[in-house]
Amino acid sequence: MPLQWCLFWYAVSLPVVAYGVYKMNNLIKERPDTFPLLAVSGAFIFVLSSLKMPSVTGSCSHPTGTGMGAILFGPSITSVLSIIVLTFQALFLAHGGITTLGANTFSMGIAGPIVGYLIFKGAMKGGTNMYIAVFLAALLADWGTYIVTSFQLALAFPATSGGILASFEAFLLVFAITQVPLAILEGAVTMLMFKYFVQLRSDALVKLNVASPEVISKLKEASV
C-alpha cells in the first residue's frame, strides 16, 4: 500500500484505539469480572482471523471474529482487541504487516465492529431473537470489513480504466467468492458461542446490557 495511505489509515485508526484503551481500563476497574470475557473475545478474534486464504494484491480472506467483541463491549474496545491481534500476527505469523496495520485495524477492528454493533442493537430493539441478532451482527461485521477493505484497496490501486469505482467493484467481487461462505460460518460459530454464554455467563450479558433479564430467561426456557 502506498505510504500516504498507510499514514492516513494510521491517523484515522489510532484515536479510536486510544479511546478504546480508555474505555477498556474503566471497564476493568468497574467490572473486573468481565475480564475473562474480554480474554475470550480477543482469543476468538485471534483464532478466526488466523484462518487465512490468499486473495488479491497481497491481501487475504479470513473470518474476523470481531462481531462477538462488538456485541459484548462495543466497537472502540473491539478495536483494541483487534490491533493487539493484528500486531501479533504481523510480527510473529507473517500475516498482514506493520505498514498496513492502520488500514487493517480500521477495516477489521473499527468499521466491521461498528456495523455489527449497530445491526445487533437494531435487531434487538426490533424484537428479533437474540441468537438471530448475534448471527446477523457477526455476518454483517465480516462483510462490512471486506467492503471497507475493498474500498481501501481501490483508493490505493485505482483501475486505469474506470478509476476507483471500477477497482472497488473488482476487489469486492474477488473477496465475495470466499467471504460470503466464510461470513455465514462465522455467524453460526458466534451464535453458538452466545448460546454458551447464556447458559454459563448470563449475569455478564445482563451487566454489559447485551440482553435484559427477561430475554435471558426466555432463552434459557427455550433451551430446556
* Domain assignment present for 55: yes
Mean pLDDT of the chain: 92
Is the pLDDT confidence value at 184 over 70?
yes
* Domain assignment present for 117: yes
Structural domain tally of the chain? 1
- pLDDT, one tens digit per residue, over 113-148 is 999 999 999 999 999 999 999 999 999 999 999 999
Please say whether the beta carbons of 80 and 21 come within 8 A.
Answer: yes
Rounded CA separation 8/156 (Å): 11
Is the pLDDT confidence value at 26 over 90?
yes
CATH number of the domain residue 70 falls in? 1.10.1760.20
* Domain assignment present for 116: yes
* Domain assignment present for 194: yes
The helix (H) or strand (E) run that includes residue 2 is none
Please say whether the beta carbons of 108 and 79 come within 8 A.
Answer: no
* Domain assignment present for 37: yes
Domain that holds residue 203: 3-217
User: Distance from CA of residue 174 to its chain's centroid?
Assistant: 20
* Domain assignment present for 85: yes
* Domain assignment present for 224: no
Whole-number percent of the chain with pLDDT over 90: 80
Rounded CA separation 180/166 (Å): 20
Is the pLDDT confidence value at 57 over 60?
no
The number of CA neighbours under 13 Å toward the Cβ of 151 is 11
In 3-state terms, what secondary structure has residue 127? coil
Please say whether the beta carbons of 140 and 115 come within 8 A.
Answer: yes
Please say whether the beta carbons of 110 and 74 come within 8 A.
Answer: no
* Domain assignment present for 123: yes
